[in-house]
Amino acid sequence: MDDSNELAIEIFSGTLWECQLVVSMLHDIEIESYLINSVFSTYAFMPTRAEQTRVMISSHDKIKAQKIIEEYYSNLQNDNH
């Protein structure tokens, strides 16, 4: 397989907590991902500074990951009603 067209893309952004949840969901369906712009201090993460954390994945996993993200948002909306 030729991976020359594979790029890292942002699939989700939000608070550190939300992004870690999304990473966990993606891991469950065997999509590798990582966080960028997460801020940690010596003692613990600082939620006020950890906003705008982004979840990055391979461009080859985009469609599969988008379905998981859409399901996540759908469940959030259903819980709020």
- Rounded-to-10 torsion of CA 18, 10, 32, 68: 60
CATH number for domain 8-80, candidates 1.10.3470, 3.90.1200, 3.30.70, 3.30.450:
3.30.70
Phi, psi of 57 (to 5 degrees): -140, 175
- What share of the chain in percent tops pLDDT 70? 77
pLDDT tens sequence across 2-20: 567 889 999 999 888 889 9
Domain ranges of the chain: 8-80
Q: What is the mean pLDDT of the chain?
A: 83
Confidence of residue 1 (pLDDT cuts 50, 70, 90): very low
